């Protein structure tokens, strides 16, 4: 029986105080709580896993719903939480429908996240209130969380049901279903996929992932940016799919391999706050799949290095992608190869990294770093003194180590 059928009696003043103390303990480590709840949701519903954008949408939804309940308890300890579903929770539901995922998967995931929240509430109560009051506070919290989640999920279900025809019946959904089949390597004839996508799969493809650095970006900004990049690069209109409300996938097509410098120059003219990654240019339907996967992998690296690059090509971070498969070994390689330079001034590492990329040409290095040649020479001398072994004959290993540090955002 739900709590709505039982009624909702306001707690006594002393109990309200204990509830407030428990709420603060409950969210004392909010990031860890959200991580645990998100992991439970994704583990219980495998269809939610495997796509970084979808996983991030689930995380944002779990966080928003948790904070909505917590904020209501802070305002009125022990009060009934109003059914006011946060936009992030509706966004993830729409994203799943667009991906063709059964809505029941999301409900299952939320219930498992709720179970984690209930366990954390019990622990918070045990640590925040006198032993004789733990049972009353624990009972209140469990009933309140269950009441809120029941009402919120019912509200989401009603809203999505009203939108389902629009979400499921459009060209966008059919295209997303087709793209998902291709990406997953499912058997689908190229001519069938071409007709559904209205896109030539026999061409060369360059996959893009675009996202915004801010949550309040203009509607359609990412799609507009993808079209702008294609136009600037002299390409035909791209295939564009909104993967989530905050992420857009795109494929640029042409008759030959695309020069990534054209995309870099085009992204330099894109609206502020838009970030993008690309895969390598590859032909045919297998290339369509592989370049997208590369762009997704490049995004994971780019997000570990916020603020440094607006545009990241897979070929730039291929080493970091490979290293991410065994981060412990990669970190040890960096430490062994760079020695004290690994923890030195960023300018020293960056100067040596660019110098090695420019085949030891100090003039080109200075031009890329927008600094004087003498400054470059001074930095190079200081950087080489910090290396555990001379640079001579070790350009490849030192260059690899510097690339790993650069694309890990300095973390080892």
pLDDT tens profile 305-331: 766 678 999 988 887 777 766 677 778
pLDDT at 95 over 80: no
Using CA atoms, how far apart are residues 176 and 99, in angstroms rounded to an integer?
6
Give the whole-number percent of the chain exceeding pLDDT 70.
88
For domain 199-303, give the fold.
Alpha-Beta Plaits (3.30.70)
pLDDT tens profile 269-296: 888 889 999 999 999 999 999 999 999 9
- 170 vs 131, residue with greater confidence: 131
Strands 204-212 and 247-254: antiparallel
pLDDT at 265 over 60: yes
Main-chain phi, psi angles of 254, to 5 degrees: -160, -175
Give ranges for CATH 1.10.10.2840 in the chain: 326-407
DSSP string spanning 247-284?
EEEEEEEESSPPPHHHHHHHHHTSPTTEEEEE---EEH
The predicted structure's pLDDT at residue 108: 87
DSSP annotation of 129 reads: S
CATH H superfamily, domain 326-407: PucR C-terminal helix-turn-helix domain (1.10.10.2840)
Weakest-pLDDT range from 23-27, 66-70, 244-248: 244-248
The pair of three-digit structure tokens given for residue 132, joined into one six-digit string: 């004789």
Give ranges for CATH 1.10.490 in the chain: 3-166
For domain 3-166, give the fold.
Globin-like (1.10.490)
pLDDT tens profile 229-250: 998 888 888 999 888 878 999 9
Give ranges for CATH 3.30.70.2730 in the chain: 199-303
Give the whole-number percent of the chain exceeding pLDDT 90.
40
């Amino acid at each position: 029986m739900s709590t709505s059928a039982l009624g909702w009696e306001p707690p006594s003043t002393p109990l309200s105080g204990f509830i407030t103390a428990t709420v603060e303990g409950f969210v004392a480590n909010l990031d860890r709580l959200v991580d645990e709840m998100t992991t439970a949701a994704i583990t219980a519903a495998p269809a939610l896993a495997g796509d970084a954008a979808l996983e991030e949408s689930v995380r944002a939804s779990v966080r928003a719903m948790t904070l909505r309940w917590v904020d209501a308890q802070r305002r009125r300890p022990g009060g009934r939480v109003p059914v006011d579903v946060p936009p992030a929770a509706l966004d993830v539901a729409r994203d799943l429908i667009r991906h063709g995922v059964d809505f029941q998967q999301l409900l299952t995931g939320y219930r498992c996240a709720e179970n984690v929240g209930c366990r954390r509430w019990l622990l918070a109560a045990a640590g925040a209130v006198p032993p004789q009051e733990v049972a009353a506070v624990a009972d209140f919290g469990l009933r309140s969380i269950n009441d809120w989640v029941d009402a919120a999920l019912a509200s989401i279900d009603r809203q999505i049901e009203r939108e389902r025809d629009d979400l499921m019946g459009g060209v966008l959904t059919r295209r997303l279903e087709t793209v998902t089949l291709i990406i997953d390597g499912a058997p689908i004839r190229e001519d069938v996929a071409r007709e559904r996508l209205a896109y030539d799969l026999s061409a060369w493809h360059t996959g893009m992932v675009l996202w915004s650095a801010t949550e309040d970006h203009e509607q359609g900004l990412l799609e507009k940016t993808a079209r702008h990049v294609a136009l600037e690069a002299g390409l035909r209109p791209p295939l564009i799919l909104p993967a989530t409300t905050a992420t857009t996938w795109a494929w640029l097509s042409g008759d030959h391999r695309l020069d990534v410098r054209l995309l870099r120059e085009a992204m330099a003219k894109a609206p502020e706050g838009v970030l993008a990654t690309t895969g390598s240019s590859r032909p045919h339907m297998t290339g369509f799949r592989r370049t997208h996967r590369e762009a997704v992998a490049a995004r994971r690296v780019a997000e570990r290095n916020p603020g440094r690059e607006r545009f990241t090509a897979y070929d730039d971070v291929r080493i970091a992608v490979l290293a991410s498969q065994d981060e412990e070994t990669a970190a040890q390689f960096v430490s062994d190869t760079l020695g004290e330079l690994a923890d030195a001034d960023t300018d020293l590492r960056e100067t040596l990294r660019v110098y090695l990329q420019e085949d030891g040409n100090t003039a080109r290095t200075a031009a890329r770093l927008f600094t004087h040649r003498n400054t470059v020479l001074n930095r190079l001398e200081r950087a080489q003194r910090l290396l555990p072994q001379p640079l001579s004959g070790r350009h490849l290993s030192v260059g690899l180590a510097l690339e790993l540090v650069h694309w890990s955002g300095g973390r080892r």
